[in-house]
Amino acid sequence: MSRLFSLSLCAIVVFSLASTNAIAAKTTYDANAGKTIYDTGCSTCHKTGLMGAPKSGNKADWVPRIAQGMDLLVSRSIKGYQGKKGMMPAKGGNAKLTDTQVGNSVAYMVEQSK
Ligand code: HEC
């Protein structure tokens, strides 16, 4: 009985890992939902260009970054990254944000800057 239980538990774990991967592969971000997060966090640096942050709406700053692709932009925003201009803190310094929330706010900035 307990063997059957652990087998089915194992199947559930494998299945849920597989399905989260499937979701992650085709994530689309919601720029509208990202606006609030941008306004309450990211804008501190990204509105004014504080600490070397690329200003939202500044195409010269953003076009080459956008060309790197959303996946890289989002993963750098989640993990943080040291670039040539400055240091982007992980999740903009707000560890409470989910990865999706960070992705949404990246989408919002990208929308402003295309
Ligand atoms: C404390 C200031 C600060 C805050 C707050 C901040 N950033 Fe940044 N961010 C930076 C700096 C500085 C860079 C530029 C690093 C470089 O390219 O040298 C940057 C770069 C980026 C980039 C471009 C990465 C690339 O590959 O070119 C993205 C996307 C980004 N930030 C998203 C966000 C998001 C989303 C938030 C809010 C959740 C946020 N940032 C909050 C300072 C900040």
* CA-nearest residue, atom 43 of ligand 1: 88
Contact 114, 59 (CB under 8 A): yes
User: What are 109's two structure tokens?
Assistant: 């900035």
Ligand 1: atom nearest CA of 52 is 12
pTM: 0.83
Helix (H) or strand (E) holding 36: helix 31-37
**Alpha helices by DSSP H, 38-114:** 43-46, 59-66, 70-79, 99-113
pLDDT at 8: 58
What fold, for 30-113?
A: Cytochrome Bc1 Complex; Chain D, domain 2 (1.10.760)
pLDDT at 27: 76
What's the 81 CA to ligand 1 centre distance in angstroms? 8
pLDDT in tens, the chain (114 residues): 566 556 555 555 555 545 554 445 557 999 999 999 999 999 999 999 999 999 999 999 999 999 999 999 999 999 999 999 999 999 999 999 999 999 999 999 999 998
Cβ of 36 less than 6 Å from ligand 1: no
